[in-house]
Each structure stands twice: as structure tokens, then as C-alpha cells.
Structure 1
């Protein structure tokens, strides 16, 4: 899959948008109310209003949007003939912006048709500007929507959604609360390590994953300790972008498959769900990906490169476990109000995400999934499970 987006990046790179906007008379800016209130975003909107004759601002994107939310946004659009769709926000905002770039085209498939699998052939030009460093939505062909009737999430996937332009602007991420920066950073880490170890991994996705992991390992905790460190924030934006690019060329697997039910039914933020599952899932995957775990471990700033690959793979899992704790992210479902009586539903719903389960570098049974979820309920005794590896 070719990613042909033009990427601009760096401090004050918003001034470089001017040439991208030449000839654009009507634009739709998609964001949410919290993002729209950030002073730097307000300045961006003012800049766009000075350059675009008719700029329509949509601030109605909720966290974890449903297909009903998107349908309501489409129904309320002031115009349909748009020269440019601009998404400014986190992953949910960017996913909705990508969908609107498909839907603001005369004769385009409807949202219901897209959900049913119809493939679009064209879209409105788009510019995506992430304000969090995690989802990598600006580099993926995916848009994820919650389906409340089924208590899960689904992905609309088409390379047609890949944007024309991406702007990685570190000063737009400085308003992220620390817990958001932590959870979105873990989301990016999940994308990178899952794509790197997926059955569909390849040299292109591996390259993106390794570059992204190196940037993330050296920058994630720095951005939390030094909120105004724009160099570290830019590295995190690039780590997130590389995670999205890795998804476009490979795909995530076990963490994301098991996190989808947590978001779909219990409305846990995606980064939180992934953080809870990261270490338990990687502990299970490790024996099937020892060499790649060792390569990832070697990217840690304080890696002990005298260890053999087996020891490095264990050390990486230990690092991931400790990282989630250092970031003060949850590591149990009970702490979030989800009891062990929900285990049967979680197992069944996770195994339904076959699009991702097939990417796991080992065979995965219901017993395996049950055992992983069971570790998120510390009061329950662990039950060893037999596993086989591809």
C-alpha cells in the first residue's frame, strides 16, 4: 500500500500550510470542542479563515464516535461540495475527517454502504493534523467506529482514505493532559510492536516499526517529565505516524483484538484498554517472536546488549510491564469496574475480531484468550494453558 501523503513537520510548521491551501475556496474543519478551545488551534482556525473564503467548522466529534454520530454529522453538514477536509484532533477526530472526505463526494457510497463493505473510488482532498501522539490515524487507511447495537467496534478500511497532506506540529500536543499523553503513547507502542511481530509483517512495515520504536522509547517518558520539550513531542508525533504507516503495511493483532470489546461495550478509552492488555498479550506472544522482541529490546536507551535473544525477549516484556506502572495507567479491569463475570462475553467478542486474530504469530484458542483476560482480575487464580505456535 503506497502512502503518498505530503508531510510537513516541526515547530511553527503551520506557517507552511499557506502553499497547501492555494486555490481552496470551501473547506470543512473537523474537530471537537475541547480541541477547538486550545489557543494554538484557535490561532490555526484564524489563519485558515484568512486564507479560505468559506471555512465551516464542525466541533461535534465525540470521543469513541459511533456510526450514529457520523451519520448525524453528515446530515448536519452546511454544504456537501468541499474543496478540502481538514481534521484537527486525536484519532477519533481524524477517523471522522477521513470518513467525511469519502462522504462529501457526489455519488459516493453512503456510510451504511461503507460499513457493509462497499469500496469507495475517490474522496475530497484532505489535510490531517494530529493533536495527540498515539493513534497514527493520519497514516492509516482505517477509520474505527463503535457499533453500540453490537457492543463492539468495526473498521472501515480503504487506501482511498489516506490523506493528501499531514502536518506534525509539536506545539499542538502540549495541551494534552499527562494521562492522555501516556495512554496515547502506549497506543502508538502497541501499533509498533504488534505490526513488527504480526504474521503479515514485512520489510517495509518492519522498517517503520523499528524507527518508530526507537523514537518512542527515547521520548515517551521525556514528554511527561518535560511537557514543553518540543523535540521529544515531535519525536512522539513521528513515532505515532510510523505506527500508523506500519499498520498500513502490516496490521495489529492480539492487543487490539482483545481491546475492541473493552471499548465497544464498556467504553474504555482505546489507549487505556491497550495499556491494560499490552504486557499480558506480549507475554503470551513472546515465545513466537523471540528474535523480534530482542531487536525491539536493543532499541531501549539502557538495553543490556550482552544478553542473548531469549533473555532480551523476557527483558522487553518486563520493561513493558514496568512502563505501564510508571505511567500510572491501570493494569486491572476490576479497578475499572468490570468484574470477572464478564469473562465469557470478552472471550467471545475478542475471538470475533478475526481480522486481527489471524495476524497473531501463534494459534490462539478461546482458552488462551480467557487466560489473558483472567490476568486482569488479580483475585482469580491463574490457570496455565497449553499453547501452540505457528
Structure 2
């Protein structure tokens, strides 16, 4: 999959986007109520208003949006032609912005229902995506994830047509993230990188993205949280997240994400938190089938012991995952999140239904395996 987005990155990079606005008569600006209040986002919004005759502001994108949320946003939009969609926020905002690029191209646009049914669009409005969290990598993926409450799960709408024209990686827009959000989104990026690197559909292009991203993430995830104003560390995390998204575009995630979907879709557990809880136990299950790649990833840790054997390195990587989640003070049990053992049948069934991801697991996964992994979290 060819990712040909133009990337603008670095501190104050937001000042370099004026040239994108010169020919626009109407811009759709997509964000959420928390993000829109940030001074940096207000400055960006004012910059757009100064350059563009008409702007429609959507600032009510909810976390973990459903198809009903997107439908409500569409109903409230004016009929005016939009030349550019700007998405500023976390993964939920960026996913909705990508969908709106497909749904707001004129009378012959695809509908949300047909997208969910698998229709492949051919046109979209131009887009600029600006992540304010370093986690989802949505700005580099052809995916938009929606919760489907009726089925108590999530689905991915996937088409390369959604890949953005422009991406801005601006570290100062991430400095106001609360530490627990920075931690959980950082673990989400880690899951993308290690899952894509070990997936059955892994390939040299995706592996290259994953290895670069893992090196940046290992060196910066804890530093960026300890020192939120460290713009170099924050920018490196944005790049790690971007590389995670690019790895998804060329390979795909697997067990962690498949098992996190029912936690988010039915029980509304934040995606990064669900992934953090599942990371170590899922990787422990996968490890025997991916020893060599686990060892290769382990070698990228700043304090890696390169004298260990391949098997020892693979075990050490799983230990690192366990310890990292603990050091970041993220939840380590499902009971902390209000999930009880009585919910196990629903969780197992929901995870096994995500065959798009389960088929990427580099080991045979049975229902009992999924159940046993969930059980380790009580």
C-alpha cells in the first residue's frame, strides 16, 4: 500500500500549513470538546478562520465513536462543498475525519451504511490530519474504527482512499495530555508495532516501519511522560505512533487488538487501556511462535543485554512489557475496570468474531486459549 502523504513535522510546524488553505472556500474542522479548548488548537483554528471564508467546526466527536455518532454528525453538516477536512485530535477524531472525507464529496458520495457493508469508495475530499496523542497512528492507516453497539463490538472500515493528503506532527499539541492518556496511547502504539512485526502477514516493508518505530518508542515512552514539555521526546513518540500506523497499512495487528475489541465495543473500556492490560499475556502466548522476532525487538531496548540467547531475549521482552505497564501505572486486571468472570463468555465470543485480526496471529488460537488469556487478568 502506497502511503504518499506529505508530512510536516517539528515544533511550530503548525505555522507551515497556511499554503494548504489559500484555495479553500470552505473547511471542515473536526475535533472534540477537550481538544478544541487547548491554546495551540485555538491558535490553529484562528489561523484557519483568517485564511478561509467559511469554516464548519465539529467539536463533539466522542471517544470510541459508533456508527450512530457519525450519522448524527453528518445530519448536522451544511450542504456546502468542502475543499479540505482538518482532523485535530486522538484516534477517534482522526478516524471520524477520515470517514467524513469520504462522506462529504458531493451528491455521489458513498453512504455510511454502504461503507459498513463493504463498498469501496473511489473519491474523497482533501485532508490534513494532526494527531494530539502519540498512539493510534490513525494519520498513517487506511482504517477507521467504529463501535457497533448492537453487536457489542467494533468494526474497521478499511480503504486506501482514506489515507490523508497531509499530516502534521506537532509535539507541542501533545504536551497537555494527562499522563495516563499519554501512557495508554503510547502502549497502543507499542501494540501496533509489535503485533504488525510478528503477524502472519508481516513483510519487509511493514517490518522496517515497525523496527524504526520500536526503537523510537522504547527510548522515549517513559521519558515523554516524565517530562511532558520535552518536545524532542514528544516528537519521537509522534513518529513512533506514525510508524505504527504505517506498519498497520502494510501488515496488520492481531491478538491484542482482537481481544480488546469486545472490551471497548461492549464495556466501553478505552482502547489504549484495554490494549495495555492485554499486551503482556497475549505476547506471552505468541512468544513461542515468534522467538526470533521477539529477540530482534528486544535488541532495540536501550538497556538490552545482547549476550542473551534468542529464547532468553524473547522471554525478556515479555517481561519488559509486563514491567512497562506497571511502571506506567496502567490497570493490570479486568476487575479494576468492572469486568467480572461472568462476562467471560461474551468476551471470548466477541474476540473470536474478529477474524480479520485473528487470522494474523502467528500461532493457532482456540476458544480455550482466548478464555485462558482473559482469565489471567482476574
1:230 paired to 2:231: yes
Aligned residue for 1:153, secondary structure, equals: strand
Matched residues in 1 for 2:364 and 2:81: separation?
48
For residues 104-149 of structure 1, the C-alpha deviation after alignment (integer angstroms, 9 at most, x for no partner) is 0121110001001111001000000000000000000000000111
Matched residues in 1 for 2:136 and 2:14: separation?
21
**For this pair of structures, how many residues does the alignment match?**
377
In structure 2, the CA distance between the partners of 1:269 and 1:207, relative to structure 1 (3 Å rule), is: same
Task: Tell me what 2:34 maps to.
Answer: 34
Matched residues in 2 for 1:175 and 1:79: separation?
35
Task: Tell me what 1:24 maps to.
Answer: 24
Distance apart, 1:81 and its partner CA:
1.1
Contact 1:205 1:249 in 2 (8 A): yes
Matched residues in 2 for 1:140 and 1:46: separation?
28
Matched residues in 2 for 1:61 and 1:349: separation?
25
Contact 2:91 2:137 in 1 (8 A): yes
Task: Tell me what 1:347 maps to.
Answer: 348
1:296 paired to 2:279: no
Matched residues in 1 for 2:186 and 2:79: separation?
36
Distance apart, 1:52 and its partner CA:
1.2
Task: Tell me what 1:216 maps to.
Answer: 217
Aligned residue for 2:34, secondary structure, equals: helix
Distance apart, 1:185 and its partner CA:
0.2
For residues 33-58 of structure 1, the C-alpha deviation after alignment (integer angstroms, 9 at most, x for no partner) is 10000011001101111111111111
Task: Tell me what 2:94 maps to.
Answer: 94
What residue ranges of structure 1 are gaps of 5+ in the alignment? 378-390
Matched residues in 2 for 1:180 and 1:345: separation?
27
Distance apart, 1:20 and its partner CA:
2.0
For residues 85-115 of structure 1, the C-alpha deviation after alignment (integer angstroms, 9 at most, x for no partner) is 0000000000000000000012111000100
Task: Tell me what 1:75 maps to.
Answer: 75
Task: Tell me what 2:125 maps to.
Answer: 124
Matched residues in 1 for 2:110 and 2:17: separation?
30
1:9 paired to 2:12: no
CA RMSD, Structure 1 to Structure 2 (Å): 0.6
Contact 2:144 2:156 in 1 (8 A): yes
Matched residues in 2 for 1:337 and 1:225: separation?
29
What residue ranges of structure 2 are gaps of 5+ in the alignment? none
For residues 226-259 of structure 1, the C-alpha deviation after alignment (integer angstroms, 9 at most, x for no partner) is 1100000000000000000000000000000000
Contact 1:285 1:362 in 2 (8 A): yes
TM-score scaled by length of structure 2: 0.99
Matched residues in 1 for 2:122 and 2:80: separation?
17
1:156 paired to 2:157: yes
Q: Once structures 1 and 2 are overlaid, which stretch shifts more, 333-342 or 264-273?
A: 333-342
Aligned residue for 1:155, secondary structure, equals: strand
Matches within 5 A, 1:1-390: 1-106=1-106, 107-377=108-378
Matched residues in 2 for 1:128 and 1:171: separation?
15
Contact 2:26 2:80 in 1 (8 A): no
Matched residues in 2 for 1:202 and 1:59: separation?
38
